[in-house]
Amino acid sequence: MKTTLYLLVGLLASVTVAGNIIHVDDDDLSRLIDPFIPGDYAINHTAYRQALTLFLDTNIDVYAPNSTGNFPVFYFITGFGGIVPAEAHTLLLSQIASHGIVVVAVWKLGSPETSFDPAWFETTVDFVENRLENSLHNQEGYISDFHVDYLHSFIGGHSGGSHVAVAQFQTNCLNYQGLILIDAVDGNSPIPENITMFVITPGQKVNFTVPTLQIVTGLDPVIGPYGLAFAPEELSGRRFFDAMTGPTWYVNATAYGHADLMDPVYVELNEITQFCPSDPSAPKEEYIQFLTGEIISFINGVLGPVEKCAFFDYLEMSGLVGINTENDFVSNGWERCSPLQCVLTPSSDLID
């Protein structure tokens, strides 16, 4: 099975080379910018490769608007703990960036176990905060009034990339404002006998408090023809939701599967190999729209929880752009529409 797993990863690389819910009036939502359509910004894509870039020991792909503005950062760690090449998610990441976000997709070929070390990610953060803006100005021709607002950053991941994001919060909040988990899986691979490290302990809370958006799919825990579930129920889903200590939104896109957020060529590859369960009749373009809208709504709500609190309603509604969802929310003591921040929780305060 392990050979099959890494053959797929290699193939991917080769192709690229709700309790306490308070709703606001619909009128408030109608006044918001629609997060479910492409944003107003044209996007540039810049690739930084580990072997060719000083001060960087990961690969990063930057999707950003070459426009006037101070743009917050969204770090996105790819699947298998950061092994899947970022270009597998170009459509999704470009649409997110079109709303005025500097998307930094992070990946690094190697053992997924190494990504559990928080230091694995720190050099990327250092590069983004100290060198990225100058690089985009000097080497990529970005206009002088373009700025990377790294003081307002978000971090998230897909599948096994989610455990990387959680591991970062376990040691330092840095400039992170929120956590975004998509099809989150704990452990270093979907093969149970090889999982030796975890970031969540069932029955215990994490040692940090941060607003969190968790998006799962209904087919995540389904066992495929290779005998694997890429998000086994015991390692995904509520395992993460129940462990969070800040306001947490849970969105289950019931008709979709683990690989459906990828670019069309990868979705087609997955349907041919049947590696991850997927419903061919479920429209993938609408799913990309939906994911973009949910992520942008979360980011806008966290950055402006008073004046943009209505964005949170989009995280609690089913049927948006035709995607049926099961939604849940837990406030964990947060007063709705009040300012949010990330804090580390002393271990003595953790609730078992």
Those residues with Cβ within 8 angstroms of residue 272's Cβ, 6 or more apart along the chain or in another chain: none
Strand blocks (E) in the chain = 43-48, 59-65, 69-77, 102-107, 146-158, 176-182, 208-209, 212-217, 248-253, 325-330, 343-344
pLDDT of residue 254: 97
pTM score > 0.85 for this model? Answer: yes
pLDDT at 20: 38
DSSP letters, 249-284, are: EEEEETT--TTTTS-HHHHHHHHHHT-S---TTS-H
- Closest to 82 measured CA to CA, from 48, 49, 115: 115
* Residue count (the chain): 352
CB 166 within 8 A of CB 241: no
Q: What pLDDT is attached to residue 114?
A: 76
Instruction: Supply the pLDDT for residue 188.
Output: 60
Report which residue type is found at 7.
L
For the domain made up of 26-344, give the CATH fold: Rossmann fold (3.40.50)
Largest CA distance in the chain: 54
Mean pLDDT by 10 residues, the chain (352 residues): 43 40 53 89 95 83 97 96 93 98 92 75 93 96 98 96 92 95 83 69 96 97 84 93 97 96 94 88 96 98 95 97 97 95 70 42
